[in-house]
Structure 1
């Protein structure tokens, strides 16, 4: 009997409901009171069961709708049968749609009773009986809307029974998915029975329905398109279709197939089942809906694309003529397992995945909530497994399972996937499929999106058994699984196989070149034929060099496979080895110093920029031996070396000493750039250290080039320079924040010597500046150092070099607020020391005005920033991914610091710095900026700077935009930055940028 909540106990009910997990306890209390008046109130045991569900409020609503319709029997059963109580409340607490179904069909609760496995009979027999067909003959009795409605009711009844077992953990994910696929196959058979009633003369043809995708693999979702392919032949035809009217049979079969699809997809008063999708057929939607077996075979042998063979991995006859379906499978299977022999097979599979990701990112802003197609989602697991199956399954028939989890277990047993990786992928796949089932069960709608509302996330977390913090725990668990999936998906390699491939030249009987090529593709080598040529070139012969290489390569090939671009790593290694292979210390160093070889493999496989530097100076390999050797050199030591090189190459008899001297200085720069790049790639230096080191390298290069240029002009004019010269670093150069691809923004200043002719002094200074630019622009095997003087007064329209007095007159009369802002990063660091100090004294009052700047100037600066945001971004780029000009990017942070400097540096000496992060620290110290805001800005600035640096290191060319359309580059940048996957990098950057932009809006623009 149902226990009554009497008036003396009622005050405690709301509190108990809240403790049980009811979100709206007062509302639930009211509903229970109303039910009590009608004699249908839940008792203690039932309340406890409701509180154990994913959504107690939803479960209560469904139960109170069902109880009056189901009558006293249900109340008695719920009181007496704990299992029934648990299954029913669990279903009602997850699925509003199944709650609606029970309200329409209250007697269906019986399929959830203790000891009932579900409706009696097989799914096929049950659904055929529902539409009035004889299971033996599949002939229909019921027709039209009645049959369609009956099919849906019977289908939902079985889904209800399955959900009851699923939601209490009796059936695991794989079992649920397999039963759903079998139920879908039964529905297709019932739909075909209905179709036969509509198509006269259907007896003239045989029609087989081939399940594809998740239906074929017996891993279907609760709500999913059911992918199919149709094959037909004339009844009574021979093996090749002879002896019958094939065209007429195909027309009849096409009508049957169309009617069957309508029977399953049509919307009725009981809703629809799911869409039957035949787009995976040959030629897709452009091709005929139904083909003969011979036509299918001809298409796959001649025209099919790689993705079509991948789709056929899961092909399985599910309905219709069983004999024809079996013959289809016998015909197609050998073709599928030869597909991996195609020349660009692996590349095609990878390209298809990239296109799916790119299309997803373009079509929806919800890609990060995608369980199926998003980074670290179900498709990542499936693509990885299917690629390995298709590559290795040609020779190993144990790898031909249709279901993803079965195939993954086979790959692990066969040694093609490491046990830990396979276990991690299987665990993540089960979790993601479980979540996918839960989100679909709620409304019985096709969706792969994790909810973005608190209630939906709470329901998911509780359904998964998370109780302390359902939302937080679920989100953390989901993200962790997604990161692990993405990491392993992008890995795809197997080291023992690489060791065998390394020994191929001397052991060809063990692994043929063709087999090695196929396997290298699967392990991440885009050009396996080229990789084999490099291996053979490095290891062939009987020389000591070849013997050491044969010892080194098995290990190094594994390290190359760990790097983002194994092919580039192996190619670079061969090129460096060719250049240094006869040098006694080189191979000995690699053999005896494991750190050098491992670091070399990572650098060559990660960075085109560092590889190019190393190929131009291969002896720099010696720098890899220790952290000390990779530490940026002190500025004064570097300066002394550069100036000594300039002095040793004064103009003399014969030759081109100026160009020769510049070449020596540029070679020094190349070596130091390599040192910093490798230290950066290995995580030995942070963002500030990289900026300072690159600035120092550029400064000593400019100073040495200035000395060489002065020497040359003095020799040509046969006398000393009639003026003093200085170079003022501007922008990132002046801020000591240069990146690998940064130009050197400068201004040139000179001061005529006493008694010198000012015009002659100006001509000499201009000649020196032009010669300096020429020397640094000469073609050479090193990254160019571009000198950009466009921040000078009047920009490109103004003179390249000005006197100190000319600068003073200009700033006193014409200077605009933006020029004062530009001077905040001016650092006169190169050339005559006295002139540098005088220039600094000249500009300090301009950039740090005595009374700060007025509100009109502040408004001008804000308008200029707003205009820059709207006009300077390249057209067509995703502004949120632009690390320099996008919201929360470098410019945002720097303008905040600079506005604070313009307003307050006159009274806060610590703000008088050219460095962005130092300015933010000073603003915090002066209480002009909240410490938390400063930390947010600094973190965003550092992250954007690291990304820009990594883009240059990976690509060998500068970019401000996070890559979105080139998978290898995107993955390489993420790996270099030590993110497990590209999704993690994008998520982290967007989070930092979003928080930084909020600070900018408040601090810079004054938004509330």
Structure 2
């Protein structure tokens, strides 16, 4: 019998079983009632014994969607006894012509399309349940109708744009002909395998140079607007329902591109940034509307992207990466019946599709016969080419159609795009009976057989591959939709906002950053992803950490080297994750200076202490070959930034203490400032010559002077000079008098350190500690410095001088400066007045600049300032030299050397204990974050490290310890220095 002439009543046996006897009886009564309304329905519908009537009643009892349509639109039942296919063919042809009626508007077209969709869906559902059409015939007719609906809408939109003068159509009766508008059906629509309630996936491109386009630039705005209308026409729900939910997100980089883009832009994207899953998606692509010839030409251009010419190991690795992205197949989840996803679950439809597509991508470049759109055609082609055996092809084909039938019935129940079987048996029986099984047990047996068959064949395809899903679970970052299994995996790994994280990672895979634009970089990233996400997930506040990593990737010029490094060096990867989770400041440095990662590759990074010789050797090597002044300044900035970063890494990992970090940062600064001074001197000599007998030195003050710099500290310096004739002139073609010469030299030195260049700033420079502060000259002659310090300086200036040491410059001037410092500090002093001045200064600071919180370690009572003032009192009150003015003494050194003369051993130890803890915390937090440390706002990883420094189990315990130490230090301050008042310093 001609299959095209089959009627619903031509089924053999019982195609389906009703939901229940009561449900069937109710449906029979409803059919009889509909006949009695006189709407011209066939009389046999009121005959409860009629075989076709009983079938219709069973279908209505099983599908609320069919029942509601029959009830709301009785004419649908008028031709149920007529051949099905001719009726659907007629609807498809009429759909293609719906746009032609004069005066057709968006609204009128919407009405026509929805009414035709309702009739097609009703008839096809019944034909499917009756089993009078094969599954491939059902999917083909659904796909043809969808294609016709899209084609009619495209023609309508082009004609309306032509009527408005926005396009110049060559033929108003065939608007798409020669239009250059490419409309591709993707996925199941492209392969003519459309689901019963499927979305339709389409992509739309246009040729800006096509004859119909009067202005190429205006077209870039026009076509996206037309596509927004297309989506509304097809998917907006009205009183007549909807046609198809329409998805245009399979276009290139949908998060950042318009709904329709130029053909050339699309081809460039796929050539340079196309992803693995897009290759697989284009296997099924088919021109369905618009300029069909242009569509075929576009797909011909895409062939080298989809099917690679040569089969090599890189291609196989690439294919495997698709598999890992699309679906995690082994070790995750169980095959089940209740609640099982027949599309994405184990043994589901997706596994069959991937089984086919993987081999098509591997071999399709050399074997064109494998380039089939339909899954079952591809299985047959693979078998014919001896890629798979006959048993595999037959088993997967049978399982494919069985699962597609189940999928259709799930969707037929309420016209929902679902692929998940009901959880409860009360609903599961509905699906079983729609599939022709009387019991859940019989249905489950058949379903499990199909799922296990697919699982077995699918697993063999990758049986030698070590799966990335065994530990992690689903990691699907394709398309624009979130994969539910992936969101659950992310949540289980420790991410609080899996939807946001999934969106961020999809952006990486779309190649929106330079680092991920190459196919090889994305391949490495795909392979790295499970381990990377696992490592991030193990850090507290994993979401924040991965967002910092995202900002880093955004600034990275290339990614393949980094991804390969992280993949092959787990220790570096863990360190990388630690930075992102614990140290936002270090993460920002990496993001701004991607090359800085190179320093992390040094195997001795965490064992070598950055001593003076270590840093000097590295600096000399780094500066080799840099001749120009500006180039040397840029190199200094790069070197200093990298070394500060690496010192921060050592601090963060506990490889060095806070005291060691302070010394290392100070040594680094001294070397860099010395190098900058040499460069400035050379520049000055070239421009202005030299001053007879000139000597220049830089005096380090503040934390730079006491070797206690922290990350981001300013450098406090004083520039000292001497020469033979203070009233002389420089020797160059542009002469300067001595004061202006050394003032200009100081200005250039400050600029060399603090002026922003392409490589940033070296150090912010503070010169307010020079004699007379900002009111004094920029550079100070050594004789004036000595006179001021001996005769005019205030107590606080001698306190500052106790931390000073000559940093760099002329060796003889540095020795002379050191001797002056020794002499000043060794002067006999009135201890009572000294103590009063210091205590008064502390009281004023406490009054005028109170601490912001208990974590303001510098200003809190008993904090760093108290300890520094105690040490400075001991230094000045002792009246002894430092064993050489060039010696660098930290606050801890001063307490050890000068404290015993004025303090008890217990008081010294109390101060040193507090100083060590404060320094460790301050150095660590300032290396890791830009703002002040507060536990409630700190990165979780950093907070853990702070607690570990103090050997404290929680914040409350640490705060109690700090309060006790602060109280001890304040008591020592009072015993040693006094209470303070309003005295004049």
TM-score by length of 2: 0.46
Greater relative contact order (Cα 8 A, min sep 6): structure 1 or 2? 2
TM-score by length of 1: 0.45
